[in-house]
């Protein structure tokens, strides 16, 4: 399954200076299926991608959509993080103009 589009929305740093959430992302597969609400998060071991999730009545968080195979999870993470880094770079460039 091929990822054909990634869209990243950066979180406004002034509003969330101490927050771990850095961006939201949406990914499209084969120009036919989109998954909204992935999160780019800063953790203890660096930046990682969290799948869209929902808080359950018992307080647990449950993924709404997630890859079954580790290879696909790694590919999604790599592509989303690369898009996030590019968005950061472009955001800094645009602010300097």
Q: What is the pLDDT of residues 25-81, one digit of tens each?
A: 999 999 999 999 999 999 999 999 999 999 999 999 999 999 999 999 999 999 999
Collapsed DSSP state (helix, strand, coil) of residue 59 = coil
27 near 38, Cβ under 8 Å? yes
Q: pTM for this one?
A: 0.84
Tell me the backbone φ, ψ of residue 69, rounded to 5 degrees: -95, 135
For 3-96, CATH gives 3.30.1120.40
């Amino acid at each position: 399954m091929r990822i054909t589009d990634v869209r990243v929305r950066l979180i406004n740093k002034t509003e969330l200076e101490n927050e771990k959430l850095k961006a939201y992302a949406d990914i499209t597969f084969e120009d036919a299926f989109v998954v909204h609400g992935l999160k780019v998060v800063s953790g203890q071991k660096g930046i990682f991608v969290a799948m869209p999730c929902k808080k359950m009545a018992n307080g647990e968080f449950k993924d709404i959509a997630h890859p079954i195979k580790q290879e696909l999870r790694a590919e999604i993470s790599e592509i989303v993080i690369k898009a996030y880094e590019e968005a950061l770079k472009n955001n800094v460039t645009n602010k300097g103009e």
